[in-house]
């Protein structure tokens, strides 16, 4: 084992890796932990093949074993981390592409939503306009209906007025006729009262004449008695 290259190659071929999870673990892992926990370093330098060597050859071989175990585990870890980094980079690229697609979809959706908002605002404005027009039409309809009802009511009032006026004229005519009859009755009553008064007066005059005639008869009777 005097040839250094042969010595390194010899122990390089005898290095075995283990605990792949720790080798591929993300974050910082101490080199000595990788060497002791992820290679057969301790088994190699403690092997009878190494321990039976004399110093300084034994220390030289242990140093070679240490180097080969460390180099091999670090190289394996670097490859694993590089592969993991490539996977992560690919995942990031894919994620970026998906994000780009999502952003595109989001932008398109926002444009559609913005367009929908504009359409909704336009429809709301149209609805408000139609509502105002409907209220105006309803007001006009109510006004027209009120006018029709007013005209109808005026016609009814005019008809009632004509009926009342006709009745008033009839009553006036009846009152006039009744007034004539009342006047005639008053004249008849007056004439009757005057006739009664005249008759009473005649009765009084007749009574007076009867009394005067009786007095004259008595006077004549006395004169006749005196003449005998």
pLDDT in tens, 148-173: 665 676 577 667 767 867 777 777 67
Examine residue 208 and state whether it is found in any structural domain, yes or no: no
| pLDDT tens digit sequence for 73-89 | 999 999 999 998 888 88
What is the DSSP track for 20-41? HHHHT-SS---HHHHHHHHBSH
pLDDT-based confidence at 9, cuts 50/70/90?
very high
Amino acid 136: pLDDT: 61
**24: CB partners within 8 A, 6+ apart:** 77, 80, 81, 84
Report the residue count for the chain: 228
* Cα angle 41, 46, 49; round to 5: 110
CA proximity to 11, closest of 48, 38, 37, 50: 50
| pLDDT tens digit sequence for 98-149 | 878 877 886 887 777 777 677 768 878 887 877 777 676 576 656 566 566 6
pLDDT-based confidence at 1, cuts 50/70/90?
very low
Long-range own/partner contacts, residues 209-216 (CB < 8 A, 24 or more apart): none
Residue pointed to by tokens 């390194």: 8
| pLDDT tens digit sequence for 188-199 | 788 888 878 878
Examine residue 21 and state whether it is found in any structural domain, yes or no: yes
Residue span of the structural domain in which 60 resides? 4-108
Name the domain count of the chain: 1
Examine residue 206 and state whether it is found in any structural domain, yes or no: no
Q: How far apart are CA 23 and CA 78, in angstroms?
A: 9
Examine residue 154 and state whether it is found in any structural domain, yes or no: no
Q: How far apart are CA 116 and CA 104, in angstroms?
A: 18
Examine residue 10 and state whether it is found in any structural domain, yes or no: yes
**65: CB partners within 8 A, 6+ apart:** 11, 15, 41, 44, 45, 50
Considering the chain, what is the average pLDDT of its residues? 81
Examine residue 178 and state whether it is found in any structural domain, yes or no: no
Amino acid 226: pLDDT: 78
Amino acid 142: pLDDT: 62
CA 4 to chain centre: 90
Instruction: Assess whether pLDDT exceeds 70 at residue 222.
Output: yes
Examine residue 140 and state whether it is found in any structural domain, yes or no: no
Examine residue 189 and state whether it is found in any structural domain, yes or no: no
| pLDDT tens digit sequence for 23-59 | 999 989 999 999 999 999 999 999 999 999 999 999 9
Q: How far apart are CA 89 and CA 103, in angstroms?
A: 20
């Amino acid at each position: 084992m005097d040839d250094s290259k042969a010595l390194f190659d010899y122990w390089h071929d005898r290095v075995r890796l283990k605990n792949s999870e720790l080798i591929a673990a993300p974050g910082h892992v101490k080199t000595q932990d990788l060497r002791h926990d992820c290679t057969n370093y301790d088994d190699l330098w403690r092997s009878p093949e190494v321990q039976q060597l004399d110093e300084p050859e034994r220390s030289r071989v242990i140093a070679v074993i240490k180097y080969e175990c460390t180099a091999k585990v670090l190289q394996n870890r670097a490859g694993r981390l590089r592969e993991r980094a490539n996977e992560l980079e690919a995942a990031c690229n894919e994620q970026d592409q998906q994000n780009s697609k999502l952003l595109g979809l989001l932008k398109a959706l926002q444009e559609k939503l913005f367009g929908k908002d504009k359409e909704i605002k336009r429809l709301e404005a149209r609805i408000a306009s139609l509502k105002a027009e409907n209220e105006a039409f309803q007001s006009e309809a109510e006004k027209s209906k009120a006018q029709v009802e007013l005209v109808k009511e005026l016609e009814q009032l005019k008809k009632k007025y004509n009926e009342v006026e006709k009745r008033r004229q009839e009553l006036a005519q009846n009152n006039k006729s009744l007034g004539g009859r009342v006047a005639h009755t008053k004249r008849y009553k007056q004439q009757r009262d005057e006739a009664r008064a005249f008759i009473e007066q005649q009765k009084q005059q007749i009574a007076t004449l009867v009394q005067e005639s009786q007095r004259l008869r008595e006077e004549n009777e006395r004169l006749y008695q005196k003449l005998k």
